[in-house]
Chain A
């Protein structure tokens, strides 16, 4: 019996390459650079170096993580199925011997890798720019926290948005609602309700890893392991649902006729 790993890996590479093609990718890269551009503007405005270090972290918390990461991941993950269904190119994978679940896993890994490639540099660039402009070296764990939060966000949101792209042609709209309304509103509610958001775990992780500055300011009782396990578990669940769902989903454009 042939191993399913090489075909899944081929789909991963195909998805990765597809994700990083075209004007859309350039637009996403430009969008991901917005926090860096804002910090560049602060540098140009001769802000105090001490302020720049904090601003870099604050920009990550108020712009990169809740907006840039979600938008970039949403567009890349939804495109994995929705664009290929609409373009009718999914035919070529669907008519091959690879199990359908393998297509889901391959596309997921490819889209997360592509998004991470765009977003991790975008997350680190403002901090690097602040240091280059004279700010003190960031507190211990900042770089690790930024990378971990960005990658974990891609892992969790990527699975959610991929599932939406598989299930509905309204995936972008639902993704925006979940990414902004659900995540932002529930995160601010009292009690255990914030535990239902991915952002809660990501911010908890930052507070665990960073000792000073805005990243450390999230009041959390969640240990590091739980903060990592939360998004990973969410990703596994969304991915499992997608693997199960694709067995029932018809992979043709809505305009299909006889």
Chain B
């Protein structure tokens, strides 16, 4: 994997508090989710990437450049910070145009790019309003607009969906997906796991300033061997199916969570999925649904962090 962003033993202290503690991770092309609870170190990492903080130890590089160093390469990077602070006396249009001008764009090009970015985040109608009159969701969107306006190769989005209404969230998630499909690289942080899950399977999990795991969430789940996988089945005859499955050695438990439903814990889900059709055919039991209930980000995070 070619790393777009790489942290090697990055450590950052705030006095006696450790923001990052030897954080090592690689972020590849496309979308990577940085997930972890509040206070895990996500924003510290983003501030290191944004060049606001200098690592006390270790290195952080983006697009092959040290994050703390000369800033010329930052034209290839867009950053949407977590906090909602903006120059609130400015209009939305003024805000985005000014920051493009700081990046060296001519007045005409800055205006054109601003209109495009505002249209992308649905703020054209509010472009002449002062930012102090923007709602929290609108502020999030104007921050995203300034991050994408210069069409950066790499987008750093720190909790970009905070405060955005459900419709806005859906649109932004679609936008992020579109950006990734058009060749941009995105690092998106969130403590709301299902949001990340909608965007990508590639994740870096962080807690207490350390990387807990990284890679494809499903592959990570496979590696957690001490936790049987939970598989939910929908069937017309749960008891008969339970009888058949209970003979399998790798099935460790079977539960009946509700009418027509069966929950099976299996140590080897691959084998389970492979043998299930055979049982269904032999027994003639009608199975209408099969779903891995903990083959997801939330479960993986809970298991790895010890909260599950």
Contacts and interface: CB of A to CB of B under 8 A. Distances in A.
Contacts of A98: 71, 102-104
Given A93-B102, A250-B53, A99 B70 contact: yes
A96 B71 contact: yes
Given A88-B83, A98-B71, A7 B103 contact: yes
Contact of A7 (B43, B83, B101): B101
A95 B74 contact: yes
A91 B52 contact: yes
B209 interface: yes
The winner among A4, A96, A250 for most chain B CB atoms within 10 A is A96
Given A7-B104, A89-B87, A95 B50 contact: yes
Interface string B76-88: 0101010101110
A235 B150 CA distance: 35
Nearest to B36: A258
B278 to A, nearest CB: 50
A98 B150 CA distance: 14
A97 B19 contact: no
Contacts of B86: 89, 92
Contacts of B50: 91, 94-95
A258 B104 contact: no
Contact of B85 (A11, A87, A100): A87
A189 interface: no
A256 B14 contact: yes
B282 to A, nearest CB: 55
The winner among A14, A87, A95, A251 for most chain B CB atoms within 10 A is A95
Interface residues of A, number: 33
Contact of B54 (A90, A99, A100, A250): A250
Interface residues of B, number: 40
A192 interface: no
A18 B95 CA distance: 12
B40 A258 contact: yes
A99 B74 CA distance: 10
A92 B99 contact: yes
Determine the main DSSP class of A at the interface with B.
Answer: loop
A258 B85 CA distance: 17
Contact of A6 (B54, B99, B104): B104
B102 A11 contact: yes
Contacts of B277: none
B104 A2 contact: yes
Contacts of A94: 50-52
Nearest to A250: B53
Interface in B89-122: 89, 98-99, 101-104, 106
Contact of A97 (B41, B44, B74, B98): B74
A60 to B, nearest CB: 33
A228 interface: no
Given A95-B74, A95-B77, A252-B47, A257 B14 contact: yes
Given A95-B77, A258-B17, A7 B102 contact: yes
B248 interface: no
Nearest to A248: B54
A10 B47 contact: no
A18 B94 CA distance: 13
Given A89-B85, A92-B99, 12 more contacts: A10-B102, A14-B102, A18-B89, A88-B81, A90-B52, A91-B50, A91-B83, A95-B81, A98-B71, A99-B71, A258-B20, A258-B41
Interface of B: 14, 17-20, 39-44, 47, 50-54, 70-75, 77, 79, 81, 83, 85-87, 89, 98-99, 101-104, 106, 146, 209
21 contacts: A7-B101, A10-B102, A11-B102, A14-B87, A90-B52, A91-B83, A92-B102, A95-B50, A96-B75, A96-B102, A98-B71, A99-B70, A99-B72, A252-B47, A252-B53, A256-B14, A256-B47, A257-B19, A257-B39, A258-B20, A258-B42
Interface of A: 2-4, 6-7, 10-11, 14, 17-18, 21-22, 87-100, 248, 250-252, 256-258
